[in-house]
């Protein structure tokens, strides 16, 4: 997890000090939503329940259609038909490239391709059942952004898949939030 935070810190530092010549402003992004576990839950749909997630990050425009971004996230899903307090949590850092269709400052759709590092934990009141695994992950987010009184709102669907020790991790999410520009235009 320390590697994830280091990558997020480096990218965020670069983003804040990036040249001001970009056509749009660097923005802080915050949001949250519902997380739907997929594989291998399909084999046992009564095991994991729909959960929630939160994200925060930075987006740096590289022209009118392209951007780079980095974000950290936290997600939590409860378990059905198990002990009270059992849950699975994911936290990590992702970086990626984004493509905007149309004018970034107007209402427009976008696609983000993501890669990063994720830690998955199974938490239980019974200490012997607790476990944690980490690994690389990749995914994508497709959404719609729109101006809202000097900031931008967004609605998106996202998908994340783990590799290595977390290769059974698959999540689909729906999120909403805001992007707040840094500095003047």
Give the residue ranges of DSSP H helices in the chain.
Answer: 2-16
Give the number of domains in the chain.
Answer: 1
141 confidence band (pLDDT: 50, 70, 90): very high
pLDDT band per the 50, 70, 90 thresholds, residue 47: low
Q: What percent of the chain has pLDDT over 90?
A: 43
Confirm whether pTM is higher than 0.85: no
CB within 8 A of 169, min separation 6: which ones? 90, 118, 120, 135, 137, 160, 161, 162
- Tens digit of pLDDT for each residue in 72-111? 999 888 766 666 667 778 899 999 999 999 887 889 999 9
Is pLDDT at 22 greater than 50 in this prediction?
no
Best mean pLDDT range from 5-9, 19-23, 107-111, 181-185: 107-111
Q: Which pLDDT band holds residue 170 (cuts at 50, 70, 90)?
A: confident
Range of the domain at 44: 2-18+25-181
Pairwise CA distance, residues 154 & 1, whole Å: 27
> What is the domain-level CATH number for residue 79?
2.40.160.20
pLDDT tens sequence across 48-80: 677 889 999 999 999 888 999 999 999 888 766
State the average pLDDT over residues 131-135. Answer: 82
3-state secondary structure of 136: strand
In the numeric block, which tokens belong to residue 86?
């059992």
Contact 47, 72 (CB under 8 A): no
């Amino acid at each position: 997890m320390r590697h994830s935070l280091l990558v997020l810190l480096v990218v965020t530092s670069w983003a804040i000090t990036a040249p001001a010549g970009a056509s749009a402003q660097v923005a802080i992004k915050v949001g949250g939503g519902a997380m739907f576990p997929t594989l291998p839950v399909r084999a046992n749909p009564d095991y994991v329940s729909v959960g929630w997630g939160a994200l925060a990050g930075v987006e740096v425009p590289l022209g009118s259609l392209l951007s780079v971004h980095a974000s950290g996230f936290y997600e939590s899903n409860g378990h059905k038909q198990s002990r009270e307090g059992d849950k699975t949590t994911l936290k990590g850092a992702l970086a990626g490239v984004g493509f905007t269709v149309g004018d970034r400052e107007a209402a427009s759709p976008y696609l983000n391709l993501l890669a990063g590092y994720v830690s998955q934990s199974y938490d239980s009141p019974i200490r012997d059942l607790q476990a944690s695994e980490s690994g690389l992950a990749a995914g994508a987010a497709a959404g719609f952004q729109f101006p809202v009184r000097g900031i931008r709102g967004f609605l998106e669907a996202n998908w994340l898949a783990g590799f290595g020790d977390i290769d059974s991790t698959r999540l689909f999410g729906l999120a909403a939030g805001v992007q707040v520009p840094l500095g003047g235009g």
